[in-house]
Each structure stands twice: as structure tokens, then as C-alpha cells.
Structure 1
Amino acid sequence: MTNHAQHTAPPTPWTDQKYLLWLASPFLPLLGFLSLVAGYLFEQPALYWLMPVFFYAVLPLLDWLVGTDINNPPESAVAQLEANRYYRAIVYAYIPAQYANTIMAVWLATRGDISIASIIALIFSAGLINGVAINTAHELGHKRADLEKWLAKIALAPVAYGHFFVEHNRGHHKNVATPRDPASSRMGETFYAFLPRTMVGSLRSAWELEGERLARQGKSVWSFDNENLRAWAMTVVLFGALTLWLGTGALAFLLIQAFFGAALLEVVNYLEHYGLLRQWDERTQRYERCAPSHSWNSNNVVTNLLLYQLQRHSDHHANPTRRFQSLRHFDESPQLPSGYASMLILAYFPPLWFKVMNPRVAKHYDGDIRKAHLYGPKREQLIRKWQAAATSSPQTVANEKPAQAQHRADETASASRHRCTNCGYIYDEIHGNPSEGFVPGTAWKAIPAEWSCPECAVRDKADFVPIA
């Protein structure tokens, strides 16, 4: 008998070449904190400007100098990467440094002998670190462990954006790149038109999502089981404690820096899906599944190191529970001309943004601009300027034969367990899902058709498959 083991080479271990470089992420708030301490100890308030100068000048320059990296970890190494607790510790480490920076900034800002210029610098410093912390919460909030979900809310408290935990995970990921999503920007829409729309729309969406979930449990939306109220309570406690300690000036400072931090998140939202649209499928009466073509990506190394590879956004939307160290580049993803650090500055100047990005949107849709996500007030103007191809016919999907459809329906109806085709979450009728309002014993057929997977939110009930 042939011993196949003698002829099969053992798998080659994969080494993450950026293993230590990922420490750049928690180093960012540490750098902010140290700059504030140094400015105070050495009586050099100019040092308070170190963080905004680094973020808006040095970081884009480093992105340009270092360049991009399109290499992906092999799928055979993903399990090893995801099990390595070092990567989790890197994400956790951001939070204590974030809080140290915030407390130091508000303490300095409320001292009587500080100039207006220094207070502005401190607002920038605290707002930038807390704005980037929303990305830390973003990485944590998608994970299944309760600890990581609570840490996500803690990271959101200083920026008063606790509802992001609900809306992003269960709203944005379900509706991204569709008119239903307040966090997806339209082609021709300025950042300044997008900002109030997304801030108000995201808040409303988070409240409605929790209202629906709690209603299934027979609870009021004002129950403290409302994840929004829990997250906002953390902000109230934090801001209240600092106000009692340092006075009402502290509250004013905290509110201003929180708005700036939230606006930093939203400018990133603005550029991530600008003009990209999932097409409507008439057969299923649903939008097509989110694909790599529905997110703008960037492989600039430095910003990816600082933002937990947020710029590999397509893979994140396809696989929300995948950890940052495992995210992949896709050739079919539309690519930004530079990293987020540069592009968010461009977004502040609409004429420059449109000049750079509108041709890219048109090219992405091969000149058929009607397929893009167009800003309503400018729709006809954009079509006149950018439409360069005949309008294509909508794609058709072959219907199942009656016998096939009936077999599938019978199979689904008879199964008591159903699995999400994205993240592997299993709904078991025996256990139900009390958190979602489905008590043990709730039959699969009683689950609302519009219900989405509670773990990844990118698959609806219709996408689940029965488990024999």
C-alpha cells in the first residue's frame, strides 16, 4: 500500500509580515495622549497640534511614500489568524489610550490659563482620536463575543455615537448601496448635504431597528433592553462625571469634540460607497446581494495599519464577522486614487471631489450612469453629462421549475434548523432566539420574511438553508 503521507508536503506556515506593524493602531491614541502631556509639562502648547498635523498632513504623505499592498493571506491561514489573541489585544488596547487622551484633553481645556487656539487644538486632538475610535468599535461590534460587543459601546461613549452599534451592524450592512441606507452617499451629493442626512437618518434607523426587535419581545422601545439607551447611558455617565469634576465648560468641550469625531466617521462613510448602487431584482423583489463592486477600496499600507484594514471594505461587507487581519483585496473592487487619509480631505472640497470621483463612477458603470446611485436633485444633470452608453436591460434570473421550487419549499418547511449562508449562524427552533424576540419553540415559518441574520445582517431569511 502506498503511504500518501510520504508524498504530501506539509502545509507551509504563513507569516504575517505586518505582525508588529499592526501596533500602529493603538499607538495613534497613545501618540495623541503623549503630545498633550508633553505640551503641558514643557509649557509648549504648540504640541497640542501634533495630532491634527499628523492626521491631516503626515499620514497622507506617508500613504503616498509607502504605497500600497494588494497581497492577501491564504485561506488556509485564516483560522490561524483569527485564533491569534494578539490581534484582539491590539484592538482592545486602543480604548484605554483613547480614554486617557480624552480625559487629558478636557482637563487641559478647562484650565483657566489656556488660549482659544489651544482649546481648538485640543478639540481636534480629542475629536480625531474618538472619531477613529468609532472604527475600533466597528471592528469589535461585528464580533460574536459579548465582551467585544460591550467594548464597542465603551469605545463609542466619548463620541456620543452609541446608536452606531445598532444601525451599522443591522441597518447599514443590510441596506448598503441602496436608497434605504442613510450612510451611502449619492453621486453628485456634497459631503455637506450628506452629513445631516446620514446623522439624522442613522439615528432614526437605529431607533426603529430596536423598536422592531423589542416589539417582538413584547417590550417597549423605552425599555433599558434597548441597545441604544444602554450605549447612550455610558455617554451620560462619562460626560456627567467629567462635568461634575471640571465644570460646565467640560460638557461644552465634550459635545463639540463628539460632533467633530462623529463627522469624521461620516466623511469616511461618504467616500466608502459614493455613487455605488446595488441593482433591484424584479424577480425576487429584493436588491442584488452586496458584492465587491459596491464599495470603494484602497490598499494604502499606512492608513490600513492605523484603521484595522477598514479600507478593504468590500471583503468586510461580504463577510462582516471576518477579523481585520484576514480581510482581502479583490481586483473587481473599485479603487480609490489614494488612501482614506487623503480622500477625506478631498471630500471637504466638493468641486475637487466631483472632479476626481465622478469620472471614476462613470467608468465603473461603463458609461451607463443610470446604474449609479445618483443624487436626486442633480440626477438629470448627471445623466446628461456622464451617460455614454445605451441603457442596458435588467439582468434576468432563471426561475426554478415548479417541481424544483416545490421540493425546496417542502425541504425548508420540514427542517427545524436553518443556517445562514454567510456567517454560519444557525437558527434552531428548539432554542429560538429570545434576544430577537423568538421564544424557544418558535417555528421557522413564523419568522418574518424580512428578518435578517442576527450575526452578520447580510443574509435575509430567504437566504438561509435548511439543515437536515
Structure 2
Amino acid sequence: MTAAAVPWRDTKRPLWPLALVVPVLPFAALLLDAWWLTPVFILGVIPLIDVLVGDDRVNPPEEVVPALQASPYYRWITYLFLPAQYAALVVTCAVWARGPSVAAAAGLVLTAGLVNGIAINTAHELGHKRESLERWLSKIALAPTGYGHFFVEHNRGHHVRVATPEDPASSRLGESFWSFWPRTVKGSFLSAWKLETSRHRLRGRSPWSLRNDILNAWAMTAVLFTALAVAFGPGVLIFLALQAVVGFSTLEAVNYLEHYGLLRQRNAAGRYEKVDPRHSWNSDRLTTNVFLFQLQRHSDHHANPLRRYQTLRSFDVSPQLPAGYATMLVLALVPPLWRRVMDPRVLRHYNGDVTKANTKPTFSVRHEDR
């Protein structure tokens, strides 16, 4: 048999279940009584493995994509994330109810927050699909962070306005994460509410019903938090609120790095050009891509939002991050380091023409970025 006749196979197929390691980490922390294990693994160990393993730029041939898309194997991995996520939440609530030390409590909040923040990525994968089951599972994955409006805003807001100044989830050149955070949290909520209420009013019905995708998602959070408070005492509500902030802040940190400074240009008619692979930062780091269902192949996702994670492609024209999301997330928390690394890359992407970038209104090019 010639090399050309060998059928293509997904060499990452046995690796995809590793995404389930994240919601399993709290159980390892429980056994070891080490509640900083999860944040250290996610923010320290994964970036190190990323460097050691390196990149994977292999794309599936288009002729195998229909079979890959239809395979239930990949779908079930995302489904299994949810029971593990909820079990981890119950375990961390039980530990909180026992009254951990201050250090353990801080690790506990970060543990639950990071797991549920990464679960928003699972919700993201599920929420883009047409199947009703997956869309409802998306809302269930969002419930622990109380960020159910993401289901509306991401699909109908962000994907329409991405890489424009009008998008609250697209960060601007010169904007720090700490400035971006309040802008995107507030702006995304207001946008989601406007989109969903407009949808109901256009159909001649009140938005104040459980058919409202924001309200039914928030209802799931209310039921979940009430059940946990009944099971573990009202004191657990403080823990749930803190971990929720960590969770949705993790999402917003990822949003921050995905489109930093990138801008769709206006065409002759004054409209923004169509979204293409140049409008998202990509990373081909294999390890983080496995843990995040290839979220880092973000350009293809925006160009083809219905493609399932196992079929997403890497493009040469996409601007590339210098490291995986796990590393870049940590870097985003330190604005001087972030700008030193990323501002020159944005400028190079536009051949030094800062007017083509999505810039903070008060942005100025620093000498070292020229």
C-alpha cells in the first residue's frame, strides 16, 4: 500500500479524554488535602508541558470532516465533562462547609472557579450546535458561574461584532485586562439582554418568561445555588459567589487574549469586512488545545462556528500567540509584560500601521513598539 493510500486518522483521538482531567483535579486535591493543586496544575504545569510538547499544525483533510463531525465519540467527551464538573462543585462545597483554613479556602475558591471557568469553554462548544440537547447542556455548564447570558451574547452578539470597537468581548490595543474586565462584563450583559428582549418583542411576546434564554439559564443557577445552600448551609453561598467571579473572569481573560488589537476593516460600502482567519489570535500548542477542545484554533471557529472541535483547522494567515492560552492568561494579568509581548505583534500584523488596529482611544505607540 502506498503512503498516499493510507487513510487519514485522528492521531489526537486518544488524547481528547484528557480534557476531563480538569474537573477530576478537585478529587485529587481532596485525596491529597492540597487545595492549590488545581490552580498550580492549570496555570503552572500545563504551560510547562505546552513548551515541552510543542505545536501541532495538522489539519484533517476535508473529505474526512463529515465523518469526524458525525462521530459520537467526540460528542460524548464534552457530555461527560458536565457530571464531573457538578460532582467537583459538590465536593468543594462540602469542604467549604467544614470550615477550611484561610489558605485552603483561597485554594478552594480558585479550584472551583477555574474548573467552572473552563467549563464555560465546554458550554461554548455545546452552545454553538443546532441540536437542542447540546444547547440545553450548554446552559447547564454555565449555571455554576451564573453566566447564562453568555449563551445569548456569544452566539448572537460577539460572533456578529467580533474584532470591532462595538464588541465588548474584543479587547483593544493598549487596553489592560483590568480595564477590559468591567467593560466586557457590563457590556456583554447589556448586549445579551437587548438581543434577547428584542427577539421576544419581535415575536409579539413578553421577554419576562422562561422562554427567555437568559432567564431560564439564570433560573438554573438559582435552583443550583439554593439546592447547595440547603445541603451545605447558607454559608456556602459566599463560596459560590466567589468561585463564580473567578470562573467568569477566567472566561473574560480568554476573551481578552483572543482578539487583542485585531480589527475588521470597513469596505467601500462602509460595512465591516467578513470575519476571516486574520481576526483571531491562534495558538497551535498541542497540550492546551487538547484540554480546551481546540479553542485555540479560534480563527476557524469564527469563520465556521458550527464546526466541531475535532475538525477545526490552523491557518498560516492567522496571527499567532507566542504561547498557549494557559501561559497567555497568566501574562494578561500583568499589563506591562502583556504589552511588551503583544503590542509589537499587533503592530507587525498590520505592518506598523496602527490605524488598522482596534485601539484604546488613548492609545499611543511606545518607543520600543515602533
Q: Please indicate the TM-score interval, normalised by the length of the shorter structure.
A: over 0.9
Alignment check: 8 A CA contact 1:334 1:364 kept: yes
Aligned partners of 1:238, 1:82: CA distance in 2, in Å? 32
Per-residue Cα deviation, 1:82-102 (whole angstroms, up to 9, x for no partner): 111000001101000000111
Query: What is aligned with 1:316?
Result: 301
2:192 paired residue number: 206
Higher mean alpha-carbon deviation, 217-226 vs 303-312, is at 217-226
**% same residue:** 57
Cα distance, 1:31 vs structure 2: 2.5
Amino acid of the structure 2 residue aligned with 1:311:
Q
2:46 to 52, 55, 59: 59
Q: Which residues of 2 match residues 216-295 of structure 1 at below 5 A? A: 216-283=202-269, 285-295=270-280
Where relative contact order (Cα < 8 A, 6+ residues apart) is larger, the structure is: 2
1:312 counterpart letter in structure 2: R
Post-superposition shift, 1:244? 1.6
Q: Secondary structure at the match of 1:162?
A: coil
Is the CA contact (8 Å cut-off) linking 1:131 and 1:260 kept in structure 2?
Answer: yes
Give the conservation status (yes or no) of the 8 Å contact 2:344–2:369: no
Q: How many residues align?
A: 368
Alignment of structure 1 residues 325-340 onto 2, 5 Å: 325-340=310-325
Aligned counterpart, 2:103: 117
Structure 1 residue 12: Cα displacement: 4.6
1:385 deviates by: 4.9
Match of 1:300 in 2: 285
Instruction: Give 1:30 shift.
Output: 1.4
Equivalences for 1:40-439 in 2 at 5 Å?
A: 45=33, 47-112=34-99, 114-283=100-269, 285-378=270-363, 381-382=364-365, 385=367
SS in structure 1 at match of 2:195:
helix
- 285-294 or 10-19: bigger deviation: 10-19
For the aligned residues, what is the CA RMSD? 1.5
Partners of 1:118 and 1:203 in 2: CA distance: 32
CA offset digits 1:256-304 (Å, max 9, x no partner): 0000010000000000000000012241x32100110000000000000
Equivalent position of 1:32 in the other structure:
26
Structure 1 stretch displaced more, 239-248 or 368-377? 239-248
Q: Secondary structure at the match of 2:306?
A: coil
Distance 2:26 2:211 in 1: 35
Q: Encode CA deviations 1:374-402: one digit per residue, 9 max, x unaligned.
A: 00122xx23x75897xxxxxxxxxxxxxx
CA distance in 2, matches of 1:177, 1:387: 21
Q: One-letter code of the match for 1:56?
A: L
Structure 2 residue identity aligned to 1:265 = L
Could you tell me how far apart the structure 2 residues matched to 1:331 and 1:282 are? 27
Distance 1:105 1:74, change over 3 A: same
Give the TM-score normalised by structure 1: 0.77
CA displacement at 1:248 relative to structure 2: 1.9
Q: Which runs of 4+ in 1 moved over 4 A?
A: 9-12, 384-388
Q: How many angstroms does 1:179 deviate by? A: 1.0
Range 139-148 or range 18-27, more displaced: 18-27
Which amino acid in 1 is paired with 2:243? Q
Q: 1: CA distance between counterparts of 2:196 and 2:5? A: 46
AA at the equivalent of 1:110: A
Larger Rg computed on CA atoms: 1
Per the TM alignment, residue 14 of structure 1 is displaced from its structure 2 partner at its CA by 1.6
Cα offset for 1:11?
A: 6.6
**1:308 aligned partner, one-letter code:** F
CA distance in 2, matches of 1:327, 1:386: 35
Distance 2:75 2:179 in 1: 37
Unaligned runs of 5+ in 1: 1-8, 40-44, 389-468
Deviations 1:179-235 (A, max 9, x none): 111000000000000000000000001100001110111112222211000000000
The Cα offsets for residues 281-332 of structure 1, whole Å up to 9 and x where unpaired, read as 241x321001100000000000000000000000000000000000000000
Consecutive unaligned residues in structure 2, runs of 5 or more: none
| TM score, norm. by length of structure 2 | 0.97
* 1:31 aligned partner, one-letter code: L
The secondary structure found in structure 1 opposite 2:262 is coil
Say which SS state the counterpart of residue 287 (structure 1) adopts: coil
